[in-house]
Each structure stands twice: as structure tokens, then as C-alpha cells.
Chain A
């Protein structure tokens, strides 16, 4: 089996840490204006219920997010696992 030099490996870890640190800083900044559970398709990846959750798009599996991020999205988060809200989704 091949061998890895410890110092060379540490250099890679340092590079990964540097990359991730930048992402964490951006995630922190972004979380003030956008729910972190919302993906790029405005779908909800949370395991808990949220009053902003709406029914999935046709063919989709994830609930969509109906939040506009103008108000603090955390107020809509619920404690239960079930996506119980679906506010307005039945219309």
C-alpha cells in the first residue's frame, strides 16, 4: 500500500480548513437574510416542520419554501418533525 507523508497531508488539511472557513463565514453572513435550510431551488431541506413549507413542485420530493426572507425566518420554524404547515398549499 502507498504511504502518505504526514507533513504533506497536514498541508492539504490546512488548505481544506482555509476553504471551509471561508464558507462558514459566508454561511454565517447569509443566515441573516436567507434560511440556511433552503436550497438553490428554494426547496426546504429541514427535518422539522416550518410554517413556510409548501407542497413540492410537480415531480419534486422536497417541500418548497414559501418564505420571502423579509421577516426573520426562524419564527416560522416548528419543533415537530412532521411538515405540518403546508400553509395555503391546499388551494
Chain B
């Protein structure tokens, strides 16, 4: 059986020692990290630390040195994220730290995407995401983006306080078939409908499926404003995005 001292990376050893309290999880983590290369341990450590610059550089180096993309995913990125999940579950870290780690994971995945593309593996779809004009509350949107990226979507995050024109331009620029808008405030919810109207006015409404979400948003409100779908949370967001993409494909096939 592997021992903690078999793991060369001090940061990983400390993380296991300090934060993994369940014996089965400690043993599994020790076995995992003791069996991977120092380079993969370093990627996992940087990811756990939420350091996207470091994950970026280390992933690039590893792939350039000939490490397999799936090995980087398994031994570096996913194994690191496993520790993040445990720390979050045990309340050692919170949502902002988790989002930083997800950002670090994205930095690593950015180098894997061209390999996927060269292998003929296309992303599930492209999604534009943003909070509507006047709304700066973005944690729900950020969790949705984390889930969507994890599921294999390419997501262009427009951030907060996004104007109608910014949504229009992004959909056009990226040829995105999906747009997600979020609002937390009842005062900014009407800007969802205004954005949808802007797509109608620009003759782009047929080009994109629009999904909406946020604490005050309901299915009824989504229907009234003319959205294509409503997601009540980040989990629902992924299944909704997949359903809307399927709808788009079915419509495309019908029109072909």
C-alpha cells in the first residue's frame, strides 16, 4: 500500500494531511498521487491552489513533453479537482475558491481542446453567457458556466452588466447556437425581454436558442418573455442546453 511519503509533491502531501479526514479518501488520494508523475502532481497542486497561470504553464509543458492529453486530464486536472471537491464538501473552502479552481481547470483544458479538434472530437456546442444589463450578481451564472464547461460546452463568458448589443455581437462573432442570460434582481429581469426583442429586431432570433435563469425568474416569466427555456439551477442549465441544442439540430434537419 502506498504511503503519504511516496508522494513527491509537498503541497499535495500537506493537502492530504490537513484536509482529507476520511480514511478511505486519504488512502485513495495517496494511492492516486503516489502513482502519478511529478509533473502531474504539480498540475494537480496548482489546480487545488486555484492558480490558473501555473496550471496553464504546467499543462503546456507536459503536453509539449509528450504526455498524453488523457493522462493530463486524469492525473493532473481531474485528480486535483477531486481534492477540491472534498475540501468544499467539508467547508474548508467555499464557492469563490471552487470557482478559482474551475478557472484553473479551464486553463489546462484550453491546451487539450486543439488536440480534441485534431482528433475530430467537436465540442457539444457553444454558449454565450452573461448577466443582463444592470445586474452584477454573477455567482449563479458562474456556477452554470462551470457545469457547462465540465460537460464539454465551449462557453464565452460576457461577465456582468451585459448590454443587448454585447449579447448580439457575441452570438454573431462566435456563431453560437445558445445564449444564456441571468438576473438576480426583479428590476433587471425586464432586460432579458429587451435582449430577446433586440434579437428579433436584428433578425437573429431564429439563429439562437435563448435560456434564462436567476433567483426571481420562473418558467412562467421565461415563457412570457419569449425565451426558449428556463433553468432553475446550474444542473438544470446543462440538461436544458443539451435539449435546446437537440431542438436546433432537429430544426436544421427539417429545413435541410
User: In the bound complex, do residue B119 and residue A3 qualify as a contact, i.e. CB atoms below 8 Å apart?
Assistant: yes
Task: Give residues of chain A (1-45) contacting chain B, Cβ–Cβ below 8 Å.
Answer: 1-6, 8-10, 12-13, 15-17, 19-28, 30-31, 34, 36-40, 45
Residues of A contacting B69 with CB < 8 Å? 2, 4
Complexed CA–CA distance, A79 and B70 (Å): 44
Which 8 interchain pairs have the tightest Cβ spacing?
Answer: A48-B136, A39-B96, A16-B150, A3-B119, A36-B95, A45-B96, A4-B119, A20-B150
Residues of A contacting B234 with CB < 8 Å? 24
Task: Give A residues with C-beta under 8 Å from B.
Answer: 1-6, 8-10, 12-13, 15-17, 19-28, 30-31, 34, 36-40, 45-48, 77, 79-81
Interface secondary structure of B, over-half rule: helix
Q: Which of B78, B118, B139 contacts A36 (CB 8 A)?
A: B139
B81 at the interface (CB under 8 A from A): yes
Q: Which of B78, B121, B235 contacts A4 (CB 8 A)?
A: B121
Other A-B pairs, 8, CB within 8 Å; known A36-B94, A37-B95, A40-B92: A2-B115, A8-B70, A16-B151, A17-B150, A19-B78, A23-B84, A30-B91, A37-B139
Do A24 and B139 form a contact, CB below 8 Å, given A3-B115, A15-B78?
no
